[in-house]
Amino acid sequence: MMIRRFETADGRAVSDLIAHTLRTTNSKDYTEEYLENDIRHLQPGDILRRAESQHFYVAEEDGRIIGCGSIGPYWGKEDESSLFTIFVHPDFQRRGIGKSIIEVLEQDEYALRARRIEIPASITGLPFYLKMGYTYKGGKAEVDEEQLYRLEKFREPSPASRISQTDEQRQVVREMMDLILSRHSFRGTYTPEKVPQEDLRAILEAGLAAPSGCNKQTTSLVAVDDPILLRKVLSVIDPPIAQTAPAAICVLTRRINAYRDRCYAVQDYSAAIENMLLMIHAMGYASCWYEGHLTDVDRIGDKIAKVLQVPEEYELVCLLPVGIPEEAPKAPRKQPFEVRAWFNDEVPCFDVSSLKQSCSKS
Ligand SMILES: Cc1cc2nc3c(=O)[nH]c(=O)nc-3n(C[C@H](O)[C@H](O)[C@H](O)COP(=O)(O)O)c2cc1C
């Protein structure tokens, strides 16, 4: 089972899932008339509209949508959010899927920025939400005129919001997160527009600012924007990559030890590369971490180093093209938060080999 963001094509499946769950699971607590009225307002078009204003997620198993949930601002408020549309198909209930959906929603940016999260809970869902740590809003343990309980949970302000007191600082934190989440590898065609050297310099500076083991600063960088030299560099790469890029940054490393026999060169240049990838993206350019092509047995990195007349003590390990992409980079599928990150003792016991992971470009 994986939880991913809703896509437009999911509208029908989500609507059907909700209708079936309401008619099956909720029928013990609500009249047919009540449920059919709800279902009328949860048609595919309604789901698509919700997904526009809320962050909508689906739980998927073997290509089938078996659960859903969404989060959005509570009446447009910045620091209060509300969970909506949480359903798990009757055949998949009591397997922890609802819990996983709530956990994903509680890690969404609408939750992280909120000090309070509300749930309009059905009578059917009430015990589950209470178990998830939600309590009656204002202590009122009664359904309202919509026959729903109003539940809420107060969140500890996140360290980020505690440190960043001002709206301006909170905005910076949000933009930073958006930047990180919207960076994707680009392997398509670049426009011929040149990258000004001041931009390349800023990217190099971001790379050099990265941490390095014992501050050994094992990473060095070469920006190539001279069209003739760049052509020479790109022409030794086989199979060809980044052929249309107007500039490229070559990452060099010196494999010197930080202490005793501990060499952190790989960690050092990886940190530098990520800094540069984020900077490249922040400036409106695209890139891709090309390393496999360079450090494989055919040692293309060595050939590029020769073209650039790099001294022997440096190893050329990576090339980052820099340029304006002709089309927006596509987001690869990533495993949901709760499959790869946990708090405290929540690390689940599962068969890691069941995770679909491969070296393919996803
Ligand atoms: C160490 C390392 C080596 C990589 N080498 C290549 C490569 O040779 N060719 C390539 O197309 N992408 C390469 N990538 C990019 C990954 O395929 C890419 O980061 C991954 O698919 C996730 O996509 P994202 O960058 O859009 O999040 C490399 C990434 C890393 C971290």
Q: Please indicate, yes or no, if residue 151 is contained in any of the structural domains.
A: yes
Residues 157, 60 share a domain:
yes
Tell me how far apart the alpha carbons of residues 160 and 111 are, in angstroms, rounded to a whole number. Answer: 13
Which protein residue's CA is at the shortest distance from atom 1 of ligand 1?
291
Average pLDDT over residues 209-222: 98
Which protein residue's CA is at the shortest distance from atom 7 of ligand 1?
290
List the CATH number of the domain containing 207: 3.40.109.10
Atom of ligand 1 nearest to the CA of 329: 26
Tell me how far apart the alpha carbons of residues 1 and 13 are, in angstroms, rounded to a whole number. Answer: 16
Residues 215, 125 share a domain:
no
Please say which residue of 161, 177, 195 terminates a domain: 161
Residues 194, 152 share a domain:
no
End-to-end alpha carbon distance in the chain: 18
Please say which residue of 126, 161, 196 terminates a domain: 161
Indicate if ligand 1 lies below 6 Å from the C-beta of 362: yes
Indicate if ligand 1 lies below 6 Å from the C-beta of 293: yes
Q: Please indicate, yes or no, if residue 83 is contained in any of the structural domains.
A: yes
Q: Please indicate, yes or no, if residue 334 is contained in any of the structural domains.
A: no
What is the amino acid identity at position 21? T
Kindly provide the residue ranges of all beta strands, DSSP E only, lying in 74-159, ordered along the sequence: 80-88, 116-121, 135-136, 149-154
Residues 211, 84 share a domain:
no
> Cβ(263)–Cβ(257) under 8 Å?
yes
CA neighbours closer than 13 Å in the CB half-sphere of residue 347: 4
Out of 290, 330, 359, give the residue to mutate to test ligand 1, the one with the largest number of ligand atoms within 8 Å of its CB: 290
If you average pLDDT over every residue of the chain, what do you get? Answer: 92
Average pLDDT over residues 156-169: 60
- Decide if pLDDT at 359 tops 50: no
Burial class (CB in 10 A: 0-12, 13-18, 19+), 14: buried
Indicate if ligand 1 lies below 6 Å from the C-beta of 196: no
Indicate if ligand 1 lies below 6 Å from the C-beta of 274: no
What is the amino acid identity at position 160? A
Bigger pLDDT: 277 vs 155: 277
Out of 289, 299, 317, give the residue to mutate to test ligand 1, the one with the largest number of ligand atoms within 8 Å of its CB: 289
> Before 239, cis peptide (omega within 30)?
yes
Q: Give the pLDDT confidence score for residue 70 in this predicted structure.
A: 97
Which protein residue's CA is at the shortest distance from atom 3 of ligand 1?
291
Report in angstroms the alpha-carbon separations of 8 from 11, 44, 48, 335, 337.
6, 9, 7, 20, 22
> Before 227, cis peptide (omega within 30)?
no
Q: Which residue has the tokens 């996140």?
A: 158
Residues 8, 52 share a domain:
yes
Q: Give the pLDDT confidence score for residue 169 in this predicted structure.
A: 80
Atom of ligand 1 nearest to the CA of 292: 8
Q: Give the pLDDT confidence score for residue 164 in this predicted structure.
A: 45
Q: Please indicate, yes or no, if residue 174 is contained in any of the structural domains.
A: no
Indicate if ligand 1 lies below 6 Å from the C-beta of 290: yes
DSSP β-ladder status, 80-88 and 116-121: parallel
Residues 189, 155 share a domain:
no
Indicate if ligand 1 lies below 6 Å from the C-beta of 289: yes
Kindly provide the residue ranges of all beta strands, DSSP E only, lying in the chain, ordered along the sequence: 2-5, 55-61, 64-73, 80-88, 116-121, 135-136, 149-154, 219-224, 247-253, 315-322
Burial class (CB in 10 A: 0-12, 13-18, 19+), 51: buried
- Decide if pLDDT at 361 tops 60: no
Q: How many domains does the chain have?
A: 2
- Decide if pLDDT at 161 tops 80: no
Q: Please indicate, yes or no, if residue 290 is contained in any of the structural domains.
A: yes
Which protein residue's CA is at the shortest distance from atom 6 of ligand 1?
290
Q: How confident is the model at residue 356 (pLDDT cuts 50, 70, 90)?
A: low
Average pLDDT over residues 258-263: 95
Q: How confident is the model at residue 335 (pLDDT cuts 50, 70, 90)?
A: confident
List the CATH number of the domain containing 125: 3.40.630.30
Angle subtended by helix axes 32-40 and 11-24, to nearest 10 = 170
Tell me how far apart the alpha carbons of residues 325 and 267 are, in angstroms, rounded to a whole number. Answer: 28
Q: Please indicate, yes or no, if residue 352 is contained in any of the structural domains.
A: no
Which protein residue's CA is at the shortest distance from atom 21 of ligand 1?
361
Q: Give the pLDDT confidence score for residue 140 in this predicted structure.
A: 85
Q: What is the pLDDT of residues 113-145, one digit of tens each?
A: 999 999 999 999 999 999 999 998 888 889 999
Residues 82, 219 share a domain:
no
Largest CA distance in the chain: 79
> Cβ(86)–Cβ(98) under 8 Å?
yes
Q: Could you tell me the distance, in angstroms and rounded to a whole number, from the CA of residue 60 to the centre of ligand 1?
A: 25
Q: How confident is the model at residue 202 (pLDDT cuts 50, 70, 90)?
A: very high
Q: Which residues pair with 80 in a beta bridge?
A: 116
Q: Please indicate, yes or no, if residue 229 is contained in any of the structural domains.
A: yes
Indicate if ligand 1 lies below 6 Å from the C-beta of 174: no
Q: Could you tell me the distance, in angstroms and rounded to a whole number, from the CA of residue 105 to the centre of ligand 1?
A: 28
Residues 146, 208 share a domain:
no
Q: Please indicate, yes or no, if residue 173 is contained in any of the structural domains.
A: no
Phi-psi region of 351 (alpha: psi -120 to 50; beta: other; left: phi over 0): beta
- Decide if pLDDT at 76 tops 60: yes
Average pLDDT over residues 14-32: 96
Residues 210, 143 share a domain:
no
Residues 142, 37 share a domain:
yes
Average pLDDT over residues 65-94: 95
Please say which residue of 127, 161, 195 terminates a domain: 161
| Structural domain boundaries, residue 261 | 185-322
Residues 279, 207 share a domain:
yes
Residues 150, 24 share a domain:
yes
